[in-house]
Amino acid sequence: MAKNLTGIDLIKHYQKDLSNGPGVYRMLDLNHNTLYVGKAKNLKKRVSNYTKYNGHPLRIQQMIFATSFMLFLTTKNETEALLLEQNLIKQLKPKYNVLLRDDKSFPYIFISSEHDFPRIEKHRGQKKRNGKYYGPFASAGAVNRTLNTLQKVFLLRSCTDKEVEAGNRPCLNYHLKRCAGPCGGKISKLDYAKLVVSADEFLRGKSEEVQKKLSEEMISASKVMNFELAASYRDRIKAITKIHSIQGINPEKIKEADIFALYIDSGQACVQVYFIRYNQNWGNRDYYPKVSSDMTESEIMEAFLGQFYLNRIPAKLILVSNEINSQTLMEKLFTQKLGKSVKIINPVKGEKKELVFDGLRNAKESLIRKMAENTTHRKLLLQLAQLLDLKNSPERIEVYDNSHIQGAYAVGAMVVSGPDGLMKSEYRKFNIKMEELENRDDTSMMKYVITRRFGKKTPSQDLKIPDVIVLDGGKGQLSVIQNLLIEIGYGEIPIIAIAKGPKRNSGQERFYHQNNIQLEIPSDHALRYFLQRLRDEVHRFVIGAHRQKRSKSIMSTRLDEISGLGGVRRKNLLMKFGSTKEVSKASVDELQKVQGISSNLAKQIYNFFNNYD
């Protein structure tokens, strides 16, 4: 029995019965919170390393001392153990592991092949539709800049299939010279297909050939004195040149690579990530993983790569600024994910080294900026603590707002700010059920949201308690919420209510604290701006949630009532016929012509609208 054993004694108890095979181990504290997740080629040997304090940094000694439980999972091989380890780290977010804080998917450019006039658009998520995907791009900004250029150069449409099929009026982009005008019948299918081929060539790195073709067309137009057409070709060539200047370094010899550059300073880390595809730099993005000052660069880089590629497909070549210990193992895992050989290289010379060096320079500059911002942010938190007479700077600030239209489509929202700024992974939306409210006013809605947030504790997870609550509301709302929190056992949480002035951010907002005491914050004080930014962030988030809910409600149709008709097929029907009303008029034969609609489903749809059994 391991009962009442902790630390080294507990680990020794478990270690003696472990196998010599591969697996994953978890170390947990007295409250069953996961402290650390690790993998091992030999579980018994690896866990034995924790049976003494000597030789470990203070962080690991503290972890060993706090260990009250351990869990083990054996695996078939070390590769499986590596994958399981990364999954558990992502799920459990252990205190003593390197943690990648942002695992948002990357955007792609998508050119459909579902239509005679393919549409160009930004895409995130699974690649289920027919067409070509180009990416990944490191950020929405990078993909938007490229899309903007592609529309100027290749005039591919962004308008809907319905507009194109109507074919009676060119879209605004046509008049802005950003679309060839299939929506107004201004271009043939054959000529539009040539534009699609040119765009594909550009995105696959053949920009020189594309520029050469455009130059030849410009010269031909000039010779026949069609100077307006020649000028349009000139502008398109300029747009290509501009996107190249924005992309920065475009390697000559490296067709495809993911680049990771790590810079560490004062116990903080920045990883700069670049994507190279078809010899083009498709943007960079910086990450700030949670690390400890005693972690090595190799340890951080290895953990970062494992978590980064957990739900992503790697490039064939991965360039890193630091060697990693489990290189062969990670190459094997990534090769399995890609289905092709993957190499991880820490380059020492040539173009590869230059690319990594450029990443390191950017990582250093980004971390310096981040640290400066954090210093300012922490000063503001300290000022807030002094204003509210708190013992320590707040680690978690929760900000609440709600949005509705005369009670309809009501939704509440919570945003969270911490020592390093906004914590977007902690944001939360609350669908407000109006039938459960006594009144249909903002105060009742806020009361509903706060009850949802604090009213229930799940047995498996402790409720995260904020150090400060900020409400976008006045004194009346403050009193109600303060009494509610006292009633449900959280009355000790300080609350600030922000009453709007005549104009938002006019400097005339009033800030109220417990018992409706007005907080005196000078109109030009940085703390006032800080609280305003928090209020504006929750307002932005809740308005987005409200619009999404309203749009979803508006888009719902009688098609939703038909059993077996999923979202994709509903969309295909609406794109084909334009409205539910037109679908209801369609014959079985017409319905069958829609992608995904079988003969049986076509009959079911027809019978639904025509009241047949």
Half-sphere exposure of 525 (CA within 13 A, CB side): 15
Give the 3-state secondary structure of residue 483: helix
Please tell me the predicted confidence (pLDDT) of residue 408. 66
Q: Which two tokens stand for residue 350?
A: 């040539």
Across 8-22, 66-80, 186-200, 230-244, least confident range: 230-244
C-alpha to C-alpha distances, 273 to 161, 234, 367, nearest whole angstrom:
36, 34, 13
The pLDDT tens digits for 278-302 are 888 888 899 999 998 889 999 999 9
Q: Is the pLDDT of residue 399 over 90?
A: yes
Fold equal for 256-368 and 397-553: yes
Give domain limits for the chain: 7-92, 108-247, 256-368, 397-553, 558-610
Most confident of 33-47, 227-241, 454-468, 555-569: 33-47
Instruction: Report how far residue 238's alpha carbon sits from residue 153's, in angstroms, rounded to the nearest whole number.
Output: 9
Q: Is the pLDDT of residue 271 over 90?
A: yes
> What superfamily in CATH does domain 7-92 come from?
GIY-YIG endonuclease (3.40.1440.10)
Domain 256-368 in CATH 3.30.420.340: yes
- Of 256, 295, 303, whose CA–CA distance to 277 is shortest? 256
Q: What is the mean pLDDT of the segment spanning 113-121? A: 85
Please tell me the predicted confidence (pLDDT) of residue 246. 53
Please tell me the predicted confidence (pLDDT) of residue 248. 53
- Per-residue pLDDT band for 397 (boundaries 50, 70, 90) equals very high
- Per-residue pLDDT band for 459 (boundaries 50, 70, 90) equals very low
Q: Is the pLDDT of residue 546 over 80?
A: no
Q: Is the pLDDT of residue 501 over 70?
A: no
Query: Three-class SS string for 329-344?
Result: HHHHHHHHHHCCCCEE
H or E stretch covering 59: helix 58-66
- Per-residue pLDDT band for 274 (boundaries 50, 70, 90) equals very high
Please tell me the predicted confidence (pLDDT) of residue 506. 52
Please tell me the predicted confidence (pLDDT) of residue 460. 41
- Per-residue pLDDT band for 437 (boundaries 50, 70, 90) equals confident
* Secondary structure letter of residue 360 according to DSSP: H
Mean pLDDT score of the chain: 85
Higher local confidence (pLDDT), 99 or 240: 99
The pLDDT tens digits for 508-524 are 788 999 888 888 888 77
Please tell me the predicted confidence (pLDDT) of residue 373. 85
- Kindly report the pTM of this predicted structure: 0.71
Instruction: Report how far residue 183's alpha carbon sits from residue 119's, in angstroms, rounded to the nearest whole number.
Output: 11
Please tell me the predicted confidence (pLDDT) of residue 458. 43
- Per-residue pLDDT band for 461 (boundaries 50, 70, 90) equals very low
Instruction: Report how far residue 605's alpha carbon sits from residue 564's, in angstroms, rounded to the nearest whole number.
Output: 10
* Tally of residues, the chain: 613
Q: Which two tokens stand for residue 62?
A: 């503290």
Q: What is the mean pLDDT of the segment spanning 262-283? A: 90
Please tell me the predicted confidence (pLDDT) of residue 525. 86
Please tell me the predicted confidence (pLDDT) of residue 406. 64
Instruction: Report how far residue 206's alpha carbon sits from residue 221's, in angstroms, rounded to the nearest whole number.
Output: 23
Q: Is the pLDDT of residue 549 over 90?
A: no
- Architecture label for domain 397-553: 2-Layer Sandwich (3.30)
H or E stretch covering 257: strand 256-265
Residue 433 has phi, psi (to 5 degrees) of -90, 105
Give the 3-state secondary structure of residue 548: helix
- Could you tell me if residue 388 is left (phi over 0), alpha (psi between -120 and 50 degrees) or otherwise beta? alpha
Which option is the CATH number for 558-610: 1.10.150.20, 3.20.20.150, 1.10.3720.10, 1.10.443.10?
1.10.150.20
- Of 232, 235, 117, whose CA–CA distance to 184 is shortest? 117
Q: Is the pLDDT of residue 386 over 90?
A: yes
